[in-house]
Amino acid sequence: MSWVRYTVPAAAVLSAASPAYAVRYLSIEEAQKEAFPSATQFSEVQAGRVWKAEAGGKVVGFFVFDRVVGKHLFIDYAVALTPVGAVHKVEILEYRESYGGDVRSPSWLAQFVGKTSGSALKINGDIRNIAGATLSSTHITEGVKRILAAYGNRLR
């Protein structure tokens, strides 16, 4: 098979710079309902972070919201726990990549204040699917471990 060679001028590539890529999958409320479809009530155990799911007065599980921040990645996710504190489901709620700066900078993070439901961030909306070298989800795995250590035995 033959190959076609392109010498890409640096300027052309630079013009394609995508400052950020973001996907909103689920709001907290939607994720709660999907994790515990039978639940009739979600009551906050810890404000904005931990909810108890109940169905007819019976605890069906717990829902923990968390966020991991890397250098360029900023991910909201949720861990659904069974009533005995085992992981039932881990779901990504919102995934964001940002470039040209550190996502932990206060100005970048400030964009998300108050954006908890129904306000999907529109950054570079024309990029719908992104590929490239595989990204590690280690920070989520560590986050789930932290949540289990913090809440696994304490809720109930």
Partner 1 sequence: MAIASDSIRRARPLLGTFVEIELAGARRSELDCALEAAFGAVAQVHRLMSFHEVDSDVSRLNREAGLRPVSVHAWTYEVLATAVALHRRSSGVFDVTIAPALQALGLLPPLKDRPVQAPLAGFADAIELRPDHQVRFQSSDVMIDLGGIAKGYAVDRAVAVLRDFGIAGGMVNAGGDLRAFGVESRTVHVRDPRDPGRAVCRIDIADEALASTARRVELFDSREPGGSAVIDPATRRPASLVDGVTIRAPSCVIADALTKIVMICGTDAGELLESYHAGALLISAGGDVQITSDWHQRVHLAA
What's the min distance (Å) between Cβ of 155 and partner 1? 22
Instruction: Establish if 73 lies at the interface with partner 1 (CB under 8 A).
Output: yes
Which residue in 84, 86, 127, 149 binds partner 1 (CB under 8 A)? 127
Kindly state whether residue 22 participates in binding partner 1, applying the rule CB under 8 A: no
Cβ burial 15-41 (10 Å sphere, 16+ → b, else e): eeeeebbbbbebbbeebbeebbeebee
Quote the CA–CA distance of 59 and 119 in Å, as a whole number.
Answer: 30
Q: Which is nearer to partner 1, 89 or 115 (CB)?
A: 89
In sequence order, what are the beta bridge partners of 73? 97
Q: Binding to partner 1 by residue 129, rule CB under 8 A?
A: yes
Which of these, 80, 98, 93, 91, lies nearest to 120 by C-alpha position? 93
Q: State the binding string over 24-43 for partner 1 (x if CB under 8 A, else -).
A: -xx-----------------
